[in-house]
Amino acid sequence: MDFSIIQPLLDGINYKAYVVGFSIAVYFFEQYLNLRQYRRYLLTERPSDLADIVSQEDFAKAQSYNLEKSQFGFIENAYKQIETVAMLSLDFLPFIWDFSGRLMLSVAAYGPEYEIVQSIVFTILFSTISTLSSMPFSLYSTFVIEQRHGFNKQTLGLFFMDAIKSHIIMVVIMVPFLGGFLRIIRSTGDNFYLYIWVAMLLFQFVMINLYPTLIQPLFNKLTPLEDGDLKSKIEALAARINFPLKKLYVIDGSKRSSHSNAYFYGFGKNKHIVLFDTLIDHSSEEEICAVLAHELGHWAMSHTLRILASSQMYLFLVFWLFSFAIHSEHLYHDFGFSTMPTLIGFLLFQFAFSPLDSVINFLMHVYQRKNEFEADAYALKLGYAATLRSALIKLSIKNLGGFNIDPWYSAWNHSHPSLTERLKALGVEPTSDTPITQEETKKEQ
């Protein structure tokens, strides 16, 4: 890559001012969108378009839950923004980098020539600080907000055990990965982005296969779905569309939360479907099949593969653009670094890349929302329109989902359409003039 062509242009940028300024601009833009949504949560009477979807009582419960989350979000977002601006303005990153070097030298007598080791130490320190910084917000969200509204099932011991496990797993995976990542860049010259992209692709495929078998069992228990009508109906649905179902599992999601979900994983003819136990408890067998028909619609229309391909194109773009910035002394010096470590360069580049990243994320949301409508339409073609409608409503009521969503807020933040948008697209009229309630959901079980 001929970096000399673009270097004069890049050297004319004040990177720190640019990154801090853009970060503040995005913060205020997102808070404006959050405020638009917050005003929706203040409404006490359900809009007319929700009259046949949710009762006034359940609407009030959902409004209360989401209003509290929104209020807390303003505080958390403000703190994170102050933290980010302070970290960049006060040269906190160079401080942690230099401290990593001193720590490495005192413990193992390794000097600055061991850049990969220092990068690993820096990453562990930085991730630990970030985890501790966000811990109070996670605790309040889990043990105050989620607890108050009946969702949290965790104990403090389980919460901290999860945090410790996650950090240990991160270190175990990150050390060899980061070492290989930096070594490839150092040894493959200016075309390193090609090799890094291939290495990242292989790493992702390995992790996709290892996560459900080695990592997830450390947090949740997966048990085979028992023989019975539900299993027979799901197997019949899979056979109907030639979905290569290998195994059906139930995951103990209720161990931590009463929120519910379902998903599938695996490549080729090795597909597995996982149902949250909370989904089974809160939905009828036909509604569970309707939810799975939607999920299988993503498979049938190759949405998963297309998103995977899109993410690979995104990664290639990131690594290719980084190849222009990796040699920019100006980029490092603007953020207070006197040396040019590769890891730091990639981290700083991601800060500089954030405007384009925001646009790409928005476009991905647009694309994913389109996929959700298509998956709903697929379930409709399979004859699950009415049951999918009732399942979506029940899940929204049980999860206290936001029923009254601002379109601007949703477009920027959500990869899924709102409940009312999905129901309108399904085009199925309610089977009763009376909306489904939580009490009726319980009586069906």
**Residue 245, φ and ψ in degrees, nearest 5:** -75, 125
Burial code (b: 16+ CB inside 10 Å, e: under 16) for 235-264 equals: eebbeeeebebeebbbbebeebbbbbbbeb
Q: Which of 58, 146, 287, 376 is the catalytic position? A: 376
The answer to whether 175 and 120 are in contact (CB under 8 A) is yes
Give one DSSP letter per residue of 360-382, joined into a string.
HHHHHHHHHHHHHHHHHHHHHHT
Question: How far is it, in rounded angstroms, from Cα 315 to Cα 323?
Answer: 12
Q: Which helix (H) or strand (E) holds 130?
A: helix 115-140
Known binding residue 235? Answer is: no
Give one DSSP letter per residue of 41-78, joined into a string.
HT--S--GGGTTTS-HHHHHHHHHHHHHHHHHHHHHHH
Q: Is 376 a catalytic residue?
A: yes
Beta bridge partners of 264: 273
The answer to whether 404 and 56 are in contact (CB under 8 A) is no
Known binding residue 365? Answer is: no
Known binding residue 303? Answer is: no
In order of 10, 55, 64, 199, 287, the CA distances from 393 in angstroms are: 52, 11, 18, 43, 11
Task: Give the CA angle between residues 135, 34, 318 to the nearest 5°.
Answer: 70
- Which pair of structure tokens corresponds to residue 171? 């270190």
Burial code (b: 16+ CB inside 10 Å, e: under 16) for 347-366 equals: bbbebbbbeeeeebeeeebe
Q: Which of 115, 146, 295, 406 is the catalytic position? A: 295
Supply the residues annotated as catalytic.
Answer: 295, 376
- Residue numbers in the known binding site are 294, 298, 372
- Residue numbers in the known binding site for Zn(2+) are 294, 298, 372
